[in-house]
A and B are shown apart, each in its own frame.
Chain A
């Protein structure tokens, strides 16, 4: 959990699908996680290369396909194609071993993200 620096984001592939399906952002000491799916098409992952989820200033989450911007703390799209829609949040739990568990509610499975 200490691995991710403040203002940094990282994608994870907890279900071993061969591509990241969840990403975690550390912001103000907290970790937030979302499904790596842009609401614009509902089937596209956000980054242009692995872990590139944030703009250069670390202010917003961005989708690199058409530039949608999302608030880090709420996942709400504030500008761009999916304006007013939101990223799907992924609840995180801290396990006894200090691992962060992501609750992937669509299929009720819990994946270890790190």
Chain B
């Protein structure tokens, strides 16, 4: 199945105005109809939680109502429709997409992907010995920047049965497990991308069923830091980060949000193909990140001006 990755996440929210402001401040572009888009056209759609066009709410307080996957072509869409209709309802929506549910009860949509192919440089670093560096006289960082999220990267779900979730995504939709945390769950990528993961499952009690976080890819670690700092300056509260994960190697910074889950910035995730053998690690802080930092206000070790009395 040539599924590329998530095109949209659809939320049914409590406070539309706060979410609009938050998603815009995060760096997504308002594109009408409460769609907030990254540079490649993937993004977040918000609706009032009682909007009748939304799939039914879960019994848990999660505001996530649907994950819409982008697929390569119409033939893939038809193959998914055929596959899923063998044991569950598959709806055809007016926009040409199809809608069904996974084995956990999360609503899924599939559509011929709307994402555009980006042609943008990644953050380039200079290092002795490297043949790929910034051009001479190119500056690496600006004091003020408003980094733009490039593409919807991944979503993490709390699920009561990760083995069942993994089996559904592997056997029915062709996802591949790239790594796993023992007893917690797998990182998975659909066949149409080399990204380390577009989804990760975390085993929890059933009353937690929902979205832990989702994230967009940035140009590199500098953009993750800059975008995160902009969020802190705007008064948003960090949940975890900045830091760098081990599985996937992605840089991260998570923020709490009015969407009832965390929203992350990520960058520089590993890419894998079918040659890759999944690793397994024990869950916990030590395997969860290579390093973790904590934001503090700008400061400099300059000390008082020469001749001034120490305070």
Contact = CB atoms under 8 A, between A and B. Distances in A.
A and B physically associate? yes
Given A45-B237, A48-B22, A56-B15, A80 B257 contact: no
A114 interface: no
A106 to B, nearest CB: 22
Given A69-B61, A79-B61, A80-B61, A52 B258 contact: yes
B1 interface: no
B180 to A, nearest CB: 22
B207 A83 contact: yes
Contact of A65 (B22, B207, B236, B262): B262
A111 interface: no
B260 A64 contact: yes
Interface of A: 44-45, 47-50, 52, 55-57, 62, 64-69, 79-81, 83
22 contacts: A44-B239, A48-B237, A48-B256, A48-B258, A49-B236, A52-B258, A56-B14, A56-B15, A56-B18, A57-B14, A64-B256, A64-B257, A65-B262, A66-B210, A66-B260, A67-B62, A67-B260, A67-B261, A69-B61, A80-B60, A81-B158, A83-B207
A55 B258 CA distance: 9
A83 B158 CA distance: 14
Contact of A50 (B61, B207, B235, B262): B235
Interface of B: 14-15, 18, 22, 60-63, 158, 204-205, 207-208, 210, 212, 235-237, 239, 255-258, 260-262
Contact of B239 (A65, A67, A69, A81): A65
B103 to A, nearest CB: 21
Given A56-B15, A79-B207, A83-B207, A68 B61 contact: yes
Nearest to B59: A79
A50 B232 CA distance: 11
Contacts of A62: 61, 260
Contacts of A56: 14-15, 18
A81 B210 CA distance: 9
Query: Which 7 interchain pairs have the tightest Cβ spacing?
Result: A67-B260, A64-B256, A48-B256, A56-B15, A67-B61, A56-B14, A79-B61
Contacts of A83: 205, 207
Contact of B208 (A48, A52, A64, A80): A80
B256 A81 contact: no
Nearest to A47: B237
Given A67-B61, A67-B62, A67-B63, A48 B255 contact: yes
A65 B62 contact: no
A81 B204 contact: yes
Contacts of A55: 14-15
A45 B261 CA distance: 14
Given A67-B261, A81-B204, 14 more contacts: A48-B237, A48-B255, A48-B257, A48-B258, A50-B235, A62-B260, A64-B258, A65-B261, A66-B158, A66-B210, A66-B261, A67-B60, A79-B60, A80-B208
A44 B62 CA distance: 18
Contact of A49 (B62, B235, B261): B235
A83 B61 CA distance: 11
